[in-house]
Chains A and B, each alone.
Chain A
Amino acid sequence: MNTLLILSALGVIALFAEIFRFRKGLFPLILLGLAAAFIFTANQYNHPHVFFGMMNFDNYAVIFSCSILVIAFLWFMMAKNYFLQETSVTDHFSLILFSLVGAVVMVSFSNLTMLFLGIEILSVSVYVLAASDKSNVMSNESGFKYFLMGSFATGFLLFGITLIYGVTGSFDLATIHTQLTTTNEKGLVLAGILLLLVGLSFKSSLAPFHFWAPDVYEGAPTTVTTYMATVVKTAAFAAFFRLFSTCFTAAGNWSDILWWMVVLTLFIGNVSAVRQKSLKRLLAYSSVAHAGYIAIAIVSMSATSASAIFYYTLTYSISSITAFTILFIVSRYKGSKDISAFEGMSKANPLLAFAMTVAMLSLAGIPPTAGFFAKYYVFLTAINHGNTLLVLLAVIAALIGIYYYFRVIIAMYFKPEQQLVPIQVGPLHRTVLIITTVLTLLLGLFPNLVLGWI
């Protein structure tokens, strides 16, 4: 609960910053606030705390909140420039902070209304943020598209919640679970679950509800895209898993449907990424593909699923931050988001190229990076659950993935350099890149560091 209080307070302070003119001090204040929130959250580990039956801060919630806060911290360091250049800085700060509140609610709800509230708090802020580059048509389109499609998905979600409520007479997850085991209204339950599935798949960009993702990711300012690919995705999957693992394990054969959606996602995401010229769009499709891998752990609901999802979202977010930060730096410098903008980078900026290589290897899932262990762990969970065929398909999809991630690496190391002038990297970005790269390698070599917690 403290986490929510601190984050909300920070958001409100950020709103007032404009009036009381302390914009300069806001940035360090927010970093401090996030750190404080992290400490308070981590303190709750092993001290489950139920809040009026609406929220349940169990270990699952604590771990995911911590992971979201860490990612958000890194994200703020990466995105500082975004706040410097725009006119309405403080609004952005507070929007992001409020959306973090939504994310924390999404990982710790124990009541369907809270799930809905969390998703809405998160989404509404992100709709606005996606359109925050006001002078850019693409950004406006992106925000509008996201908003329209997102509202639809919310509608589905709400409808699903209603149906489930109709059958069980409760919003409470535990009550729903017990009610569902005895109910005779199988059809209604399945319909409700499917509608919820649609709503959540939209948020976590699972095919065939992924169509918004490439356009929105590409149009939104790079920093906001990063936020969507990392924090939003983590929260969406955490909520997805929390809902389905506590309520619907015994009900309906939704996992067969999800099975097909996962296969579809894996192949649509990976195959579409192959032909992309723009790195940003490539990363958008790759983010769809990664949603597929994460969802494998949900299909194979078992004891290790939660930690597999946690590990995967964390490492994916960390590598994504590296990739997007470098994209951000390069695109500002060269004015292009294409892969060709990276040509010859290994000569001009060897360290930047190295960091990007590590990120790409991690996204492609090649040892010794964290991405490999994440995939391995998901595959292990799936085979343990008997989904060997799904894993084989995922392996083939991963091979396609290697092809396009390596296009970036090849561009950096092979193509003749167009500009030998090294790109200047600011100290803050440098810190972020060092932290994320080290974390990617460290978590790959010692997955034990985070694995034992959940």
Chain B
Amino acid sequence: MLLILFAFAVMGLFVPIRYGNRFAFISSLIVFAYSLYLFLTFPISAEYQYVADYSWVQSLGIHFKVGIDGISILLVMLTTFLTPLIIFSVRKSEPRPRAFYSLILFMEMALIGVFVSMDGFLFYIFWEIALIPIYFICLLWGGKDRVKITLKFFIYTIAGSLFMLVALIYLYLHTPAQHSFDISALYAAGKSLDPHAQSILFWFFFLAFGIKMPVFPLHTWQPDTYTDAPTQGTMMLSGIMLKMGIYGLIRWMIPMLPQGLAQNAECMLWLAVAGIIYAGIIAFTQKDMKRLFAYSSIAHVGLIAAGIFAFNGQGLQGGIIQMLSHGINVVGLFFIIDIIQSRTGTRNIPSLGGIRLKAPYLATVFAIIMLGAIALPLTDGFPGEFLLISGVFKFNNIAGAVAGFTIIIGAVYMLRTYQNSMLGETSVETDNFTDLTMTEKTVLIPIVIMVILIGVWPNLFLKVSEPAIMKLLSGI
């Protein structure tokens, strides 16, 4: 069943030249419709659904094994929901060749693959494949320093992945004879190791996932890459790709190496909290809007990581719902930046202002998404941050308090950005600002709807992932 999904994504590679955009949009919509169908009919249970298992490399115990549980269905939904929007957000005035669209579809395939793999080797393959399209998207359509920055990004992330590969092989060799990469076999193998070995492997995995997320201090590739990537690339990276890292933590690293977590949880938690504060402070001083949101993204991810390392029901649930809302918010925000930049030619906050007078729609949409990012109650950020902070608090009071405090920093710089760009007098750059076009509305309205939907009715999503989370927790 899931193979149909892959087939669609692969088909995107053979788009007719002229209708590249439309074809990609429609095929991604079909994939979305399919995953929506899966979501709506998804039974609330802790077991994997729609498992497909084919032998791939028989002699090495590698299987093509995919399946969906409550955690992965949400991420698959997120991916398939955002991809059509990202494709649609390409502006008509900047035509992209079909290679661009097929790379995005290819990437969507790899991302979905990451979220549904139930075989360690398969997971690794998808994990790496996802890197290639985004590398080319950034390299071919990025900003002026793209060569250096994308190469740094690529080598950085692959460095982490290779260490993960070593760790995976190590675990694989500790599975019983006739080794296997099956997820349950790897879980068992990881748990059987002594705490010291687990701790070392934990760090290996952490390198891969921590770089991808990115967690302080492994984040140095991120602001540059986000800033220089084309808007769609940034959306892909921040909206979906960094969820790969978080998903990896939840699905692979922690269940496999519970002792490793137990030994390092404190350290990890403080790293994450340090990252929140650090990124918050740096974001505070940014003048470039895109960079500001890149740093704010590090802060948000830091909080998610903290919640996950706390490893209790609230933390994990919060992490998952926050992944969804962060993905949605950040895609919306980066698109708004793109709109502002294409109209005014600048992303520099001080030279903006008064956009609300010229473009009330944009200002309203921006406000809603921004409030979501600040985590105001009834927006999508709230349930996630609430659960995350209570999860962290349960684990360590002080860390919880510090993490809670950082929300205020976030609110301050976000609101200040809003104030300086939307309110006040118009500047030379914003004098001729026009409001949202039909296309832009089509992209932003679903995002706004989701922002409010998750905020008002988080249980719609929480209840799907709950049994799977409980199973994870009880497995340790």
Q: Report A's interface with B, CB cutoff 8 A.
A: 361, 366-368, 372, 376-377, 379-380, 383-384, 388, 391-392, 395, 398-399, 402-403, 406, 410, 413-414, 446-448, 451-452
A414 touches B166 (CB 8 A): no
> Is B433 among interface residues, defined by CB-CB distance under 8 A?
no
* Interface residues as binary, B150-170 with A (CB distance below 8 Å gives 1, 0 otherwise): 010011001100110110011
B128 touches A403 (CB 8 A): no
A448 touches B136 (CB 8 A): no
Which residues of chain B in 195-232 are interfacial with respect to chain A, using CB atoms and an 8 Å cutoff? none
* Interface residues as binary, B28-44 with A (CB distance below 8 Å gives 1, 0 otherwise): 00000000000000000
Q: A392-B166, A403-B151, A410-B147 are in contact. Are A361 and B132 (CB under 8 A)?
A: yes
Chain B contact-residue range equals 20 to 34
B58 touches A367 (CB 8 A): no
A380 touches B60 (CB 8 A): yes
The smallest C-beta distance from B465 to any residue of chain A, in angstroms, reads 29
B166 touches A391 (CB 8 A): yes
Q: A403 — which chain B residues lie within 8 A by C-beta?
A: 151, 155
Q: B154 — which chain A residues lie within 8 A by C-beta?
A: 402, 406
A402 touches B158 (CB 8 A): yes
Q: A372 — which chain B residues lie within 8 A by C-beta?
A: 125, 128
Main secondary structure of the interface of A (DSSP, over half): helix
Additional A-B contacts beyond A376-B169, A392-B163, A403-B155 (12; CB < 8 A): A366-B132, A368-B129, A372-B125, A376-B165, A379-B165, A379-B166, A380-B173, A383-B166, A446-B56, A448-B56, A448-B57, A451-B59
Determine which of B140, B151, B170 lies in contact with A388 in the assembled complex, contact meaning CB atoms within 8 Å.
B170
> Is B124 among interface residues, defined by CB-CB distance under 8 A?
yes
> Is B139 among interface residues, defined by CB-CB distance under 8 A?
yes
Which residues of chain B in 124-144 are interfacial with respect to chain A, using CB atoms and an 8 Å cutoff? 124-125, 128-129, 131-132, 136, 139-140
Q: A368-B125, A451-B59 are in contact. Are A383 and B139 (CB under 8 A)?
A: no
A410 to B146 CA separation, bound complex (whole angstroms): 10
Main secondary structure of the interface of B (DSSP, over half): helix
The smallest C-beta distance from B63 to any residue of chain A, in angstroms, reads 12
A353 to B162 CA separation, bound complex (whole angstroms): 26
Q: Report B's interface with A, CB cutoff 8 A.
A: 56-60, 124-125, 128-129, 131-132, 136, 139-140, 146-147, 151, 154-155, 158-159, 162-163, 165-166, 169-170, 172-173
Q: B170 — which chain A residues lie within 8 A by C-beta?
A: 383, 388
A395 touches B162 (CB 8 A): yes
The smallest C-beta distance from B44 to any residue of chain A, in angstroms, reads 35
The smallest C-beta distance from A270 to any residue of chain B, in angstroms, reads 13
Q: A376 — which chain B residues lie within 8 A by C-beta?
A: 165, 169
The residue in B140, B154, B162 that gathers the most chain A C-beta atoms within 10 A of its C-beta is B162
A391 to B164 CA separation, bound complex (whole angstroms): 12
A181 to B243 CA separation, bound complex (whole angstroms): 57
Determine which of B56, B128, B136 lies in contact with A413 in the assembled complex, contact meaning CB atoms within 8 Å.
B136
A384 to B175 CA separation, bound complex (whole angstroms): 12
A398 touches B136 (CB 8 A): no
A399 touches B166 (CB 8 A): no
Q: A444 — nearest CB in chain B belongs to which residue?
A: B125
A51 to B166 CA separation, bound complex (whole angstroms): 43
A141 to B413 CA separation, bound complex (whole angstroms): 67
The smallest C-beta distance from A222 to any residue of chain B, in angstroms, reads 27
11 intermolecular pairs with C-beta atoms under 8 Å apart: A361-B132, A366-B131, A367-B128, A372-B125, A376-B165, A379-B165, A379-B166, A380-B169, A388-B166, A410-B147, A452-B58
A366 to B161 CA separation, bound complex (whole angstroms): 11
A25 to B151 CA separation, bound complex (whole angstroms): 49
Determine which of A379, A399, A448, A451 lies in contact with B155 in the assembled complex, contact meaning CB atoms within 8 Å.
A399
A447 to B146 CA separation, bound complex (whole angstroms): 35
A392 to B169 CA separation, bound complex (whole angstroms): 12
Q: A366 — which chain B residues lie within 8 A by C-beta?
A: 128, 131-132, 158
